[in-house]
């Protein structure tokens, strides 16, 4: 029988996981699919892992893997994709902001033949004004720079067919940005809209610093436009310098007066140095990423796993290879 995998990255979600698993199994038992729920504990500091172990013992079909430390939401998702064994994999958050009631519509779109079913959040009550504005701004800038359209309201709540999962798990890049990768991979995709309730319990795990990091990872892995800015700024400043030089020569030769002041020289110099440092920073950002990619470290490390079917397969294929 065809199998559906649900991949849930979780960091400090002890209060949400039991509720989520209960609702998920209620929804999934109404469908004619076998299913597995795979929770990825991304270095939780609360008792999430204990909760996952208990859920695993109580209910058939719930599995867990524990990463050796906090690797971040995207890497935890990647770990989940590696060990999910279903023909379709649904990724969703642990905090109930991605309601299990949407699952049947995701699955029915997949049955219609779509290989990726994305979701669009239509109303977010209680989401801070700051977060709303910054995320809208980011999506705009990203779409514009990368040429790969991102819709605002898109989250890592989606269904992926096995064919896409196979492609994604072959990616080695250390800074994964699924929202950009999925349109990049291609295949037929569609959207399903849903209303997102506020987080059930606990606090949002994304700090401002993490969001900046996330945005930078997204931009630099999908666009080299920031690098090209240097050419543009070079042309503009060279043009301005040329005009200034022309003016200085003109006043000296024709009007026979010299342009007074060292302040303007100093101003111009510090302005140019400022630009230079910014551009060095941009280049440094990309070189840093090249360095990290060249090191080729794993995207995540598994510390513990609860008898996960996908893990068994992975182990088996390793021994087959020997």
Note the residues at the interface with Mg ion (CB under 5 A). 95, 97, 199
Nearest alpha carbon to residue 63 among 74, 82, 45: 82
All residues at 6 or more sequence positions from 68 whose CB lies less than 8 Å from its CB, including other chains:
43, 301, 302, 303
Strand partners, 161: 88
Cα 104 from chain centre: 24
Based on CB atoms, which residue is closest to ligand UDP, 94 or 306? 94
**144, two tokens:** 């514009």
CB of 247 to ligand UDP, least distance (A): 53
CB of 10 to ligand UDP, least distance (A): 4
**80, two tokens:** 């989940």
CB of 202 to ligand UDP, least distance (A): 8
Site for ligand UDP in 245-274 (CB under 6 A): none
13 binds ligand UDP (CB under 6 A): yes
CB of 123 to ligand UDP, least distance (A): 15
**Rounded-to-integer distance, Cα 103 and Cα 91, Å:** 10
Based on CB atoms, which residue is closest to ligand UDP, 203 or 318? 203
CB of 143 to Mg ion, least distance (A): 22
**150, two tokens:** 């991102």
**Rounded-to-integer distance, Cα 2 and Cα 33, Å:** 6
CB of 124 to ligand UDP, least distance (A): 9
CB of 116 to Mg ion, least distance (A): 21
Residue with tokens 């010299």: 258
56 binds ligand UDP (CB under 6 A): no
Site for ligand UDP in 195-214 (CB under 6 A): 199, 204-206
**H or E stretch covering 219:** helix 208-222
Site for ligand UDP in 221-250 (CB under 6 A): none
Q: Where are the beta strands (DSSP E) in 59-204?
A: 62-67, 88-91, 116-124, 154-161, 189-196
**Rounded-to-integer distance, Cα 143 and Cα 308, Å:** 37
Which listed residue (11, 109, 121, 175) binds ligand UDP by CB under 6 A?
A: 11
Q: What is the dihedral of CA 265, 266, 272, 276, to 10 degrees?
A: 140
153 binds ligand UDP (CB under 6 A): no
Which listed residue (2, 70, 105, 190) binds ligand UDP by CB under 6 A?
A: 70
**60, two tokens:** 């058939």
13 binds, among ligand UDP, Mg ion, none (CB under 5 to 8 A by kind): ligand UDP
CB 316 within 8 A of CB 71: no
Site for ligand UDP in 82-111 (CB under 6 A): 93-95, 97
36 binds, among ligand UDP, Mg ion, none (CB under 5 to 8 A by kind): none
Question: What are the residues binding ligand UDP (CB under 6 A)?
Answer: 9-11, 13, 42, 70, 72-73, 76, 93-95, 97, 199, 204-206
């Amino acid at each position: 029988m065809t199998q559906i995998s649900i991949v849930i990255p979780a960091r400090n979600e002890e209060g949400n996981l039991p509720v989520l698993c209960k609702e998920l199994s209620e929804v999934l038992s109404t469908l004619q699919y076998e299913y597995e729920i795979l929770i990825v504990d991304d270095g939780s500091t609360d008792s999430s892992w204990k909760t996952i172990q208990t859920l695993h013992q109580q209910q058939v079909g719930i599995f867990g893997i524990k990463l050796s430390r906090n690797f971040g939401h995207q890497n935890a998702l990647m770990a989940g994709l590696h060990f999910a064994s279903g023909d379709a994999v649904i990724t969703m958050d642990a905090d109930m902001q991605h309601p299990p009631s949407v699952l049947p519509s995701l699955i029915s779109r997949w049955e219609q033949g779509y290989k990726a079913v994305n979701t669009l959040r239509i109303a977010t009550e209680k989401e801070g004004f700051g977060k709303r504005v910054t995320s809208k701004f980011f999506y705009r800038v990203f779409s514009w720079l990368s040429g790969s359209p991102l819709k605002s309201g898109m989250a890592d709540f989606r269904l992926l067919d096995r064919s896409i999962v196979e492609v994604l798990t072959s990616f080695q890049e250390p800074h994964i940005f699924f929202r950009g990768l999925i349109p990049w991979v291609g295949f037929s995709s569609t959207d399903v809209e849903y209303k997102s309730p506020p987080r059930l319990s606990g606090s949002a795990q994304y700090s401002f610093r993490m969001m900046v990091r996330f945005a930078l990872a997204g931009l630099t892995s999908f666009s080299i436009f920031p690098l090209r800015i240097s050419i543009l700024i070079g042309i503009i400043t060279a043009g301005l310098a040329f005009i200034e030089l022309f003016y200085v020569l003109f006043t000296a030769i024709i009007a026979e007066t010299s342009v007074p002041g060292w302040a303007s020289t100093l101003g111009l110099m510090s302005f140019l140095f400022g630009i230079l440092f910014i551009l060095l920073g941009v280049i440094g950002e990309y070189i840093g990423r090249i360095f990290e990619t060249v090191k080729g470290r794993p995207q995540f490390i598994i510390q513990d796993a609860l008898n996960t079917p996908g893990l068994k397969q992975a182990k088996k294929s390793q021994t087959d290879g020997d």
